[in-house]
Amino acid sequence: MVDMEKLATSMGDLEEDDVNAALRQVMDEGGSQATEAMDACQKGMNIIGERFESGEYFVGDLIYAGELMTGAVDILKDALVSGGGAGAGKMILCTVKDDLHDIGKNIVKAMLEANGFEVIDLGIDTPAETIVETMKEQDVHIVALSGVLTLALDSMKSTVAAITAAGLRDSAKIIIGGAPTNEEACQMVGADAWAQNPQKTVNTCRDWAAAFAA
């Protein structure tokens, strides 16, 4: 059994060899600890964020951490797939207008795809009009909006307003995620849910996809 506290510390210390060894052990032992391991990696990412804010880590460390987390998802993805993972449906994922960060978005994308979603990734700095157009063209009813900067909340709110103005809001589910999001932000933006980690995004979107398919 893998020591999850040690795994979190290894992730926080950016010890790639130790992180990957622990994750491979999880898989070698059948993958039953995969969700715990993902949570431990997320705790490690929180440590990294704190060290960045304190000046101990720099932008290069954040980029490396994002690559390390993406690699972690890749190792664990087969064990993270929920029941009935294939064919969960289409959804839109993007970083909202005026925000250029994509590390978190890319991690979420990897986990969504591992759970059977066809992810339409609209990239970074995505205008609300592009999201609305894609919803219409692709007949998409689930939208995930990501942002790291505080100003991303204004863009998220504008995006929800644009979806509403286009007459698509009643048939859509919108989830937001990223550093500035919480329950209060979710209500302010007008979204249906917010996610504090990638697994919450996957679980919420799977529930929505199942409801739409019913």
pLDDT tens digits for range 138-184: 999 999 999 999 999 999 999 999 999 999 999 999 999 998 999 99
Distances in whole angstroms, Cα of residue 213 to Cα of each of 72, 90, 134, 181: 31, 11, 20, 28
Q: Which parts of the chain have pLDDT scores under 70?
A: 82-87
pTM as predicted? 0.78
- Give DSSP secondary structure letters for 90-140: EEEEEEBTT----HHHHHHHHHHHHTTEEEEE--SSB-HHHHHHHHHHHT-
pLDDT in tens, 76-86: 988 877 554 45
Spatial distance between the Cα atoms of 141 and 178, rounded to a whole number of angstroms: 21
Domains of the chain, start order: 4-80 (1.10.1240.10), 89-213 (3.40.50.280)
Q: What values do phi and psi take at 72, rounded to 5? A: -65, -45
Cβ proximity of 108 and 101 under 8 Å: no
Reading the block at residue 48, the tokens are 């990294």
